């Protein structure tokens, strides 16, 4: 099955700095890579996703890059703010019906 | 309001006592799925359903059952709960039958099996 590895497990950044989270996947059939954000005590919510026919996607301060050859994708958050503090999960789909998540990255933005 | 609901939100039970966690969505979504969240392991998929009467196993299906008799409901059944099923459970749904769509998560059910 698909194995998604996510690093780092925790990340502390100064407000205004950038944060980068990296994920690797094992199944070359994966073609959809979403990122979910989970605030403390809340449900996961999609923040951005990328499909295999695209190398990069940006939405305001958030961007995701995908390298299919190397089987890795990354989340970039620029100009971090306190409300960016949360757990972030990457995921990949080994087929059309399953979704495998990484273990999560706890991001803390220091004021 | 478009939403995914789960009940109960919190549950303490004992080993072997059958329980059901309900999940309902009002968005006419085709796809529904159950996940469990454990520290250090992220979200792991238990079962999913592409449509009414169509279900399949995720990565960690052992000890769980599901059914999809109606489009809006997707209950998770633990026939004989064990302590290793203590976890935070999330139900999710998406518009398409496939995973390449936004999944909308329910509020979660925190289960403790003694």
pLDDT, mean of residues B40-49: 95
CB B111 within 8 A of CB B11: yes
Omega prior to A30 cis, within 30 of 0: no
pLDDT, mean of residues B78-97: 95
Tell me which residues of chain A have a C-beta less than 8 Å from any C-beta of chain B. Answer: 1, 6, 9, 31-32, 34, 43-46, 49, 51, 89, 91, 93, 95-104
Give the separation between CA B45 and CA A51, rounded to whole angstroms.
21
Continuous segment of H or E residues that includes residue A96: none
Q: Give the pLDDT score at A34.
A: 96
B102-111, pLDDT tens digit by residue?
999 999 999 9
Selected for mutation to probe chain A from B58, B100, B101, B109 (highest A CB count within 10 Å) is B100
Nearest CA in chain A to B5: A43
Q: Give the pLDDT score at B37.
A: 98
Sign of CA dihedral A104, A109, B3, B7: positive
**Adjacent-strand bridge partners of B75:** none
Q: Which candidate from B42, B99, B102 shows the least CB-CB separation from A103?
A: B42
Those residues with Cβ within 8 angstroms of residue B81's Cβ, 6 or more apart along the chain or in another chain: B13, B14, B15, B16, B17, B18, B19, B63, B111, B113
Helices (H), ranges, chain B: none
Average pLDDT, chain A: 95
* 3-state DSSP helix/strand/coil % of chain B, to nearest 5: 5, 50, 45
pLDDT, mean of residues B19-27: 97
* Token pair belonging to B45: 């998929």
Q: Which pLDDT band, with edges at 50, 70 and 90, does A2 fall under? A: confident
- Indicate whether B34 pLDDT > 90: yes
Average pLDDT, chain B: 95
Q: Give the pLDDT score at B48.
A: 96
Continuous segment of H or E residues that includes residue B62: none
Chain B contact set for A9 (CB, 8 A):
40
Contact A93 B99 (CB under 8 A): yes
A81-101, pLDDT tens digit by residue?
999 999 999 999 988 889 999
């Amino acid at each position: 099955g698909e194995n998604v590895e996510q690093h780092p497990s925790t990340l502390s950044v100064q407000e205004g700095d950038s944060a980068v989270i990296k994920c690797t996947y094992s199944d070359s059939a994966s073609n959809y890579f979403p990122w979910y954000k989970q605030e403390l005590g809340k449900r996961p919510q999609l923040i951005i996703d990328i499909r295999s026919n695209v190398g990069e996607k940006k939405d305001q301060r958030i961007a995701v890059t995908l390298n299919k050859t190397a089987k890795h994708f990354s989340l970039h958050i620029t100009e971090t703010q306190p409300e960016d503090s949360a757990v972030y999960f990457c995921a990949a789909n080994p087929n059309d019906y399953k979704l495998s998540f990484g273990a999560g990255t706890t991001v803390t933005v220091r004021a | 309001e478009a939403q995914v609901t789960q009940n109960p939100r919190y549950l303490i039970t004992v080993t072997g006592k059958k329980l059901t966690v309900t999940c309902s969505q009002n968005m006419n979504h085709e796809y529904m799925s159950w996940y469990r969240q454990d520290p250090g392991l992220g979200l792991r998929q238990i079962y999913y359903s592409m449509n009414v009467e169509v279900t399949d196993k995720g990565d960690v299906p052992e000890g769980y059952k599901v059914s999809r008799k109606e489009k809006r409901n997707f209950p998770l059944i633990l026939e004989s709960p064990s302590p290793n099923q203590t976890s935070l459970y999330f139900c999710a749904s998406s518009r398409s039958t496939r995973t390449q769509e936004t999944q909308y998560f329910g509020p979660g059910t925190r289960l403790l099996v003694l």
